[in-house]
């Protein structure tokens, strides 16, 4: 994912989430210097729009020598309560966007986990 491109992962909410701290693990495979914007979003099932819960930006540099091991990244983010209703179509969205990379694929979430000496990206809710 390079500059201006984003990806989203959607999860259907089964009920409310209390206010608190989310832990985001976003280890990635980095092929070139890149700033990545991470956003946690509540997408309301009634079509009234998205609510930004938390966001963070991080600069990544690739590992040296052509090493494609994961670059670690973990952050805690404070967020308000989510008043989701089971069966209403509410979704929790994890979005990441490259903001300044010249390459088309400078950040990729580490889907290989320990095989790439990192963790599979995940979010721990409060």
Give the chain's domain count.
Answer: 1
* Residue 44 in domain: yes
- How confident is residue 4, by pLDDT bands cut at 50, 70 and 90? low
The secondary structure element, H or E, covering residue 12 is strand 6-12
List CB contacts of 85: < 8 A, sequence separation 6 or more: 15, 16, 45
Question: What is the rounded CA–CA span in Å between residue 36 and residue 12?
Answer: 24
Distance CA 42, CA 94 (A): 9
Q: Is residue 53 assigned to a domain?
A: no
In this structure, is residue 10 part of a structural domain? yes
Of 45, 97, 109, 52, which is closest to residue 78 (Cα–Cα)? Answer: 52
Q: Where would I find the beta strands (DSSP E) of 13-113?
A: 20-25, 28-30, 34-43, 50-60, 74-79, 91-98, 107-109
pTM to 2 decimals?
0.90
Lowest mean pLDDT across 14-23, 35-44, 100-109: 100-109
Length of the chain in residues, anyone? 126
- What are the pLDDT digits (tens) for 77-100? 999 999 998 999 999 999 999 888
Domain extent, residue 65, equals: 6-48+59-78+87-124
């Amino acid at each position: 994912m390079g500059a201006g491109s984003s990806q989203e992962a959607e999860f259907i909410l089964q009920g409310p989430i209390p206010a608190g701290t989310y832990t985001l693990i976003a280890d990635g495979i980095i092929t070139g210097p890149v700033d990545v914007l991470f956003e946690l979003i509540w997408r309301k099932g009634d079509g009234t729009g998205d609510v930004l819960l938390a966001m963070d930006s991080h600069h990544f540099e690739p590992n040296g020598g052509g090493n494609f091991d994961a670059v670690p990244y973990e952050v805690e983010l404070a967020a308000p309560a989510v008043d989701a209703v089971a069966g209403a179509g509410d979704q929790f969205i994890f979005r990441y966007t490259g903001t300044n990379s010249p390459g088309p694929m400078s950040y990729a979430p580490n889907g290989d986990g320990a095989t790439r000496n990192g963790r599979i990206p995940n979010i721990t809710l409060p």
